[in-house]
Amino acid sequence: MELHSGFTLYHSRNNGRTNRDVGFYVPSSMNRHITCYFHSERIIELLITISKRKRLRVVQVHAPPSDYEDEDYEDFLDELAGIIDVRKITELVVLGDFNASTGP
Q: How confident is the model at residue 21 (pLDDT cuts 50, 70, 90)?
A: confident
Per-residue pLDDT at 51 exceeds 70 = yes
pLDDT digits (tens, 9 = 90+) for 29-41: 999 999 999 998 8
Task: Specify the higher pLDDT residue, 66 or 52.
Answer: 52
* Helix (H) / strand (E) containing 21: none
Q: Residue 19's pLDDT is what?
A: 61
AA letter at 42: R
Compute CA distances 67 → 50, 58, 74, whole Å: 40, 27, 13
Contact 21, 42 (CB under 8 A): no
What's the whole-number average pLDDT of the chain? 85
Per-residue pLDDT at 60 exceeds 70 = yes
